[in-house]
Amino acid sequence: MNSPAVEVLTFGEAMLSLQTDGPLGADGTARTTVAGAEFNVAVGVARLGHRVSWAGRTGRDEPGRLILRTLRGEGVGTSHATTDPEAPTGAMLRERRVADLARVHYWRSGSAASRQRPEDLTPALEAGARILHLTGITCALGEGPLAAVRSAAEYAAEHGWTVTLDVNHRTRLWSHEAATTALHLLLPYVDVVIASDDELPLLSAAPGTSPERGEADLIADLFGAGIGEVVVKRGADGADLYLPGAVPVHAAARPVPVTDTVGAGDAFCAGYLSGLIDALDPDARLQRATTTAAFAVASSGDWEGLPHRDELALLDAAPGSAIR
Protein backbone atom coordinates (compact mmCIF):
# COMPACT_ATOMS: atom_id res chain seq x y z
CA MET A 1 0.00 0.00 0.00
CA ASN A 2 1.43 3.37 -1.02
CA SER A 3 1.97 6.01 1.65
CA PRO A 4 -0.18 9.15 1.27
CA ALA A 5 1.48 12.16 -0.28
CA VAL A 6 0.52 14.21 2.79
CA GLU A 7 1.43 13.39 6.37
CA VAL A 8 -0.81 15.99 8.04
CA LEU A 9 -4.06 17.48 6.76
CA THR A 10 -5.63 20.38 8.60
CA PHE A 11 -8.09 23.18 7.92
CA GLY A 12 -9.61 26.13 9.73
CA GLU A 13 -9.74 29.90 9.68
CA ALA A 14 -6.61 31.82 8.82
CA MET A 15 -6.97 35.58 9.14
CA LEU A 16 -5.31 38.83 8.32
CA SER A 17 -3.61 39.77 11.60
CA LEU A 18 -2.75 43.27 12.70
CA GLN A 19 -0.50 43.38 15.75
CA THR A 20 0.13 46.64 17.60
CA ASP A 21 3.12 47.47 19.76
CA GLY A 22 0.96 49.51 22.14
CA PRO A 23 -2.63 50.47 22.94
CA LEU A 24 -4.74 51.12 19.87
CA GLY A 25 -6.10 54.29 21.46
CA ALA A 26 -2.55 55.63 21.81
CA ASP A 27 -1.79 55.23 18.09
CA GLY A 28 0.24 52.05 18.55
CA THR A 29 2.11 51.04 15.40
CA ALA A 30 0.67 47.93 13.73
CA ARG A 31 2.46 45.08 11.95
CA THR A 32 0.57 43.18 9.29
CA THR A 33 0.82 39.39 9.13
CA VAL A 34 -1.47 36.34 8.97
CA ALA A 35 -2.39 33.85 11.67
CA GLY A 36 -4.83 31.17 12.79
CA ALA A 37 -4.51 28.05 14.92
CA GLU A 38 -4.39 25.47 12.12
CA PHE A 39 -2.33 27.82 9.96
CA ASN A 40 0.25 28.06 12.74
CA VAL A 41 0.33 24.30 13.21
CA ALA A 42 0.69 23.68 9.48
CA VAL A 43 3.69 26.02 9.26
CA GLY A 44 5.27 24.49 12.36
CA VAL A 45 4.93 20.93 11.05
CA ALA A 46 6.24 21.90 7.61
CA ARG A 47 9.30 23.60 9.11
CA LEU A 48 10.08 20.34 10.89
CA GLY A 49 10.35 18.64 7.52
CA HIS A 50 6.95 17.02 7.07
CA ARG A 51 4.43 17.10 4.23
CA VAL A 52 1.42 19.19 5.21
CA SER A 53 -1.75 20.27 3.45
CA TRP A 54 -4.01 23.13 4.57
CA ALA A 55 -7.56 22.93 3.19
CA GLY A 56 -9.16 26.00 4.73
CA ARG A 57 -11.40 28.55 3.02
CA THR A 58 -10.49 32.19 2.37
CA GLY A 59 -12.13 35.09 0.63
CA ARG A 60 -11.25 35.87 -2.94
CA ASP A 61 -9.41 38.97 -1.79
CA GLU A 62 -5.92 40.23 -1.07
CA PRO A 63 -5.78 38.93 2.55
CA GLY A 64 -6.79 35.51 1.23
CA ARG A 65 -4.07 35.61 -1.42
CA LEU A 66 -1.56 36.67 1.24
CA ILE A 67 -2.51 33.68 3.40
CA LEU A 68 -2.07 31.23 0.54
CA ARG A 69 1.22 32.80 -0.59
CA THR A 70 2.57 32.61 2.96
CA LEU A 71 1.59 28.97 3.35
CA ARG A 72 3.15 28.02 0.02
CA GLY A 73 6.29 29.94 0.93
CA GLU A 74 6.54 27.84 4.10
CA GLY A 75 6.18 24.60 2.15
CA VAL A 76 2.54 23.92 3.06
CA GLY A 77 0.34 22.51 0.31
CA THR A 78 -2.69 24.63 -0.59
CA SER A 79 -4.03 22.81 -3.65
CA HIS A 80 -7.17 21.82 -1.71
CA ALA A 81 -7.81 25.24 -0.16
CA THR A 82 -11.00 26.89 -1.40
CA THR A 83 -11.97 30.51 -1.96
CA ASP A 84 -15.35 32.17 -1.49
CA PRO A 85 -16.24 34.87 -4.03
CA GLU A 86 -18.97 36.31 -1.79
CA ALA A 87 -17.44 36.42 1.70
CA PRO A 88 -14.28 38.11 2.98
CA THR A 89 -11.26 36.66 4.67
CA GLY A 90 -11.53 37.17 8.44
CA ALA A 91 -9.34 39.58 10.36
CA MET A 92 -8.03 40.05 13.87
CA LEU A 93 -6.26 42.78 15.81
CA ARG A 94 -3.88 41.81 18.60
CA GLU A 95 -3.40 44.86 20.77
CA ARG A 96 -0.57 45.04 23.28
CA ARG A 97 -2.53 46.84 25.95
CA VAL A 98 -0.25 47.15 29.00
CA ALA A 99 3.03 45.46 29.98
CA ASP A 100 2.84 41.92 28.58
CA LEU A 101 -0.99 41.85 28.49
CA ALA A 102 -2.53 41.64 25.03
CA ARG A 103 -6.15 41.55 23.95
CA VAL A 104 -7.52 40.29 20.67
CA HIS A 105 -10.35 41.75 18.60
CA TYR A 106 -11.95 39.62 15.85
CA TRP A 107 -13.79 40.32 12.62
CA ARG A 108 -14.80 36.83 11.59
CA SER A 109 -18.61 36.81 11.58
CA GLY A 110 -19.75 36.00 8.04
CA SER A 111 -16.19 35.30 6.90
CA ALA A 112 -15.31 32.85 4.15
CA ALA A 113 -14.09 30.33 6.74
CA SER A 114 -17.41 30.48 8.58
CA ARG A 115 -19.05 29.28 5.34
CA GLN A 116 -16.90 26.16 4.93
CA ARG A 117 -18.96 23.03 4.29
CA PRO A 118 -18.18 19.28 4.33
CA GLU A 119 -18.15 19.07 0.53
CA ASP A 120 -15.33 21.64 0.40
CA LEU A 121 -13.04 19.03 1.99
CA THR A 122 -13.86 16.08 -0.26
CA PRO A 123 -10.81 16.41 -2.57
CA ALA A 124 -8.42 16.83 0.37
CA LEU A 125 -9.82 13.82 2.18
CA GLU A 126 -9.80 11.64 -0.92
CA ALA A 127 -6.12 12.54 -1.47
CA GLY A 128 -5.34 10.90 1.87
CA ALA A 129 -3.12 11.70 4.86
CA ARG A 130 -1.63 10.00 7.91
CA ILE A 131 -2.95 12.52 10.44
CA LEU A 132 -6.00 14.77 10.49
CA HIS A 133 -5.46 17.67 12.89
CA LEU A 134 -8.56 19.45 14.22
CA THR A 135 -9.20 22.25 16.71
CA GLY A 136 -12.18 23.37 18.72
CA ILE A 137 -11.90 26.81 17.14
CA THR A 138 -13.18 25.62 13.77
CA CYS A 139 -16.07 23.84 15.49
CA ALA A 140 -17.08 27.17 17.05
CA LEU A 141 -17.32 29.10 13.78
CA GLY A 142 -20.82 27.92 12.87
CA GLU A 143 -22.90 24.97 11.78
CA GLY A 144 -21.10 24.60 8.45
CA PRO A 145 -17.58 24.42 9.88
CA LEU A 146 -18.76 22.14 12.69
CA ALA A 147 -20.33 19.79 10.15
CA ALA A 148 -17.09 19.90 8.13
CA VAL A 149 -15.07 18.91 11.21
CA ARG A 150 -17.43 16.04 12.04
CA SER A 151 -17.49 14.63 8.53
CA ALA A 152 -13.71 14.92 8.17
CA ALA A 153 -13.15 13.19 11.51
CA GLU A 154 -15.53 10.40 10.56
CA TYR A 155 -13.83 9.92 7.17
CA ALA A 156 -10.35 9.89 8.71
CA ALA A 157 -11.33 7.37 11.38
CA GLU A 158 -12.96 5.08 8.82
CA HIS A 159 -9.80 5.15 6.70
CA GLY A 160 -7.37 4.43 9.50
CA TRP A 161 -5.83 7.88 9.92
CA THR A 162 -4.75 9.25 13.28
CA VAL A 163 -7.15 12.02 14.36
CA THR A 164 -5.78 14.64 16.74
CA LEU A 165 -7.91 17.27 18.47
CA ASP A 166 -6.58 20.40 20.15
CA VAL A 167 -9.46 21.70 22.28
CA ASN A 168 -8.26 25.33 21.98
CA HIS A 169 -11.35 26.75 23.66
CA ARG A 170 -12.23 30.37 22.84
CA THR A 171 -14.82 31.79 25.23
CA ARG A 172 -15.53 34.69 22.87
CA LEU A 173 -16.61 32.25 20.15
CA TRP A 174 -18.93 29.94 22.10
CA SER A 175 -20.03 28.98 25.57
CA HIS A 176 -18.70 26.17 27.76
CA GLU A 177 -22.00 24.33 27.34
CA ALA A 178 -22.04 24.62 23.53
CA ALA A 179 -18.43 23.48 23.31
CA THR A 180 -19.05 20.48 25.56
CA THR A 181 -22.06 19.34 23.55
CA ALA A 182 -20.35 19.73 20.17
CA LEU A 183 -16.96 18.31 21.06
CA HIS A 184 -18.43 15.21 22.68
CA LEU A 185 -19.79 14.20 19.30
CA LEU A 186 -16.21 14.07 17.97
CA LEU A 187 -14.80 11.74 20.61
CA PRO A 188 -15.64 8.46 18.85
CA TYR A 189 -13.33 9.48 15.99
CA VAL A 190 -10.44 11.03 17.94
CA ASP A 191 -7.20 9.23 18.82
CA VAL A 192 -5.18 12.00 20.49
CA VAL A 193 -6.56 14.81 22.64
CA ILE A 194 -4.43 17.87 23.39
CA ALA A 195 -5.82 20.27 25.99
CA SER A 196 -4.78 22.64 28.71
CA ASP A 197 -5.70 21.48 32.18
CA ASP A 198 -8.66 23.88 32.39
CA GLU A 199 -10.04 22.61 29.06
CA LEU A 200 -10.29 18.94 30.04
CA PRO A 201 -13.83 19.25 31.48
CA LEU A 202 -15.08 20.31 28.04
CA LEU A 203 -14.31 16.83 26.76
CA SER A 204 -14.29 14.66 29.82
CA ALA A 205 -17.46 15.62 31.69
CA ALA A 206 -20.57 14.67 29.77
CA PRO A 207 -23.17 17.46 29.55
CA GLY A 208 -25.07 17.72 32.83
CA THR A 209 -22.51 15.97 35.03
CA SER A 210 -20.64 17.52 37.92
CA PRO A 211 -17.83 19.93 36.99
CA GLU A 212 -16.05 19.15 40.26
CA ARG A 213 -14.53 15.81 39.23
CA GLY A 214 -10.76 15.44 39.51
CA GLU A 215 -8.38 15.41 36.59
CA ALA A 216 -7.66 11.67 36.90
CA ASP A 217 -11.38 10.94 36.55
CA LEU A 218 -11.68 13.24 33.55
CA ILE A 219 -8.78 11.51 31.80
CA ALA A 220 -10.26 8.11 32.62
CA ASP A 221 -13.47 9.28 30.93
CA LEU A 222 -11.53 9.98 27.76
CA PHE A 223 -9.84 6.58 27.82
CA GLY A 224 -13.26 5.04 28.31
CA ALA A 225 -14.46 6.89 25.20
CA GLY A 226 -11.66 5.27 23.18
CA ILE A 227 -9.08 8.07 23.21
CA GLY A 228 -5.58 6.60 22.96
CA GLU A 229 -3.50 9.55 24.20
CA VAL A 230 -4.29 12.57 26.36
CA VAL A 231 -1.77 15.39 26.36
CA VAL A 232 -2.23 18.07 29.02
CA LYS A 233 -0.50 21.42 28.51
CA ARG A 234 0.40 23.20 31.74
CA GLY A 235 2.10 26.38 30.52
CA ALA A 236 5.19 27.22 32.55
CA ASP A 237 4.81 23.88 34.34
CA GLY A 238 5.42 21.91 31.15
CA ALA A 239 3.15 19.14 29.92
CA ASP A 240 2.04 15.61 30.74
CA LEU A 241 1.20 12.69 28.47
CA TYR A 242 -1.26 10.04 29.63
CA LEU A 243 -1.56 6.62 27.99
CA PRO A 244 -3.98 3.90 29.13
CA GLY A 245 -2.35 1.59 31.68
CA ALA A 246 0.96 3.45 31.69
CA VAL A 247 2.76 5.80 34.06
CA PRO A 248 2.22 9.43 32.97
CA VAL A 249 5.12 11.11 31.17
CA HIS A 250 6.11 14.64 32.17
CA ALA A 251 8.21 17.18 30.31
CA ALA A 252 9.26 20.42 31.94
CA ALA A 253 8.91 23.69 30.06
CA ARG A 254 12.15 24.82 28.44
CA PRO A 255 13.59 27.83 30.34
CA VAL A 256 13.57 30.72 27.87
CA PRO A 257 12.91 34.46 28.17
CA VAL A 258 9.22 35.01 27.50
CA THR A 259 8.58 37.44 24.65
CA ASP A 260 5.13 36.49 23.35
CA THR A 261 2.95 33.60 24.53
CA VAL A 262 0.41 33.78 21.68
CA GLY A 263 0.78 30.75 19.43
CA ALA A 264 2.63 28.65 22.01
CA GLY A 265 -0.12 26.04 22.10
CA ASP A 266 -0.10 25.73 18.32
CA ALA A 267 3.69 25.39 18.36
CA PHE A 268 3.34 22.64 20.98
CA CYS A 269 0.88 20.80 18.73
CA ALA A 270 3.24 21.09 15.76
CA GLY A 271 6.06 19.54 17.76
CA TYR A 272 3.83 16.76 19.05
CA LEU A 273 2.53 15.90 15.58
CA SER A 274 6.11 15.82 14.32
CA GLY A 275 6.97 13.35 17.07
CA LEU A 276 4.03 11.15 16.08
CA ILE A 277 5.10 11.16 12.43
CA ASP A 278 8.67 10.28 13.40
CA ALA A 279 7.40 7.50 15.70
CA LEU A 280 9.27 8.94 18.68
CA ASP A 281 8.71 7.35 22.06
CA PRO A 282 6.31 9.18 24.41
CA ASP A 283 9.03 11.03 26.30
CA ALA A 284 10.80 12.18 23.13
CA ARG A 285 7.69 13.45 21.38
CA LEU A 286 6.60 15.36 24.48
CA GLN A 287 10.09 16.87 24.69
CA ARG A 288 9.85 17.94 21.04
CA ALA A 289 6.50 19.59 21.76
CA THR A 290 7.80 21.59 24.72
CA THR A 291 10.83 22.59 22.67
CA THR A 292 8.78 23.99 19.78
CA ALA A 293 6.54 25.78 22.29
CA ALA A 294 9.62 27.38 23.84
CA PHE A 295 10.69 28.74 20.45
CA ALA A 296 7.25 30.32 20.12
CA VAL A 297 7.19 32.05 23.52
CA ALA A 298 10.75 33.33 23.07
CA SER A 299 9.87 34.96 19.71
CA SER A 300 7.50 37.69 18.58
CA GLY A 301 4.55 36.68 16.45
CA ASP A 302 2.21 33.71 16.33
CA TRP A 303 4.38 31.48 14.11
CA GLU A 304 7.33 33.44 12.81
CA GLY A 305 9.81 32.09 15.39
CA LEU A 306 8.94 28.41 14.95
CA PRO A 307 12.04 26.24 14.45
CA HIS A 308 13.20 24.30 11.43
CA ARG A 309 14.30 20.74 12.15
CA ASP A 310 18.00 21.62 12.14
CA GLU A 311 17.34 24.33 14.74
CA LEU A 312 15.74 22.17 17.43
CA ALA A 313 19.02 21.82 19.31
CA LEU A 314 19.59 25.59 19.53
CA LEU A 315 17.97 25.78 22.95
CA ASP A 316 20.60 23.40 24.29
CA ALA A 317 23.24 26.13 23.86
CA ALA A 318 24.15 28.33 26.82
CA PRO A 319 22.13 31.56 27.07
CA GLY A 320 23.76 34.37 25.12
CA SER A 321 25.77 32.00 22.93
CA ALA A 322 26.68 32.89 19.37
CA ILE A 323 26.50 29.85 17.08
CA ARG A 324 29.55 30.14 14.81
Known catalytic residues?
A: 266
- The Cα–Cα gap between 280 and 276 comes to 6
The per-residue b/e assignment along 270-283, b for 16 or more CB within 10 angstroms, e otherwise, is bbbbbbbbeeeebe
CB-facing half-sphere around the CA of 280: CA atoms within 13 A: 16
Q: Calculate ∠ Cα 37-39-42, nearest 5°.
A: 110
> What is the dihedral angle through the alpha carbons of 70, 73, 75, 77, rounded to the nearest 10 degrees?
60
**Residue 294 burial (C-beta neighbours within 10 Å; 0-12, 13-18, 19+):** buried
The dihedral built from the CA positions of residue 58, 64, 65 and 71, taken in this order, carries a sign that is negative
- The Cα–Cα gap between 258 and 9 comes to 30
CB-facing half-sphere around the CA of 12: CA atoms within 13 A: 24
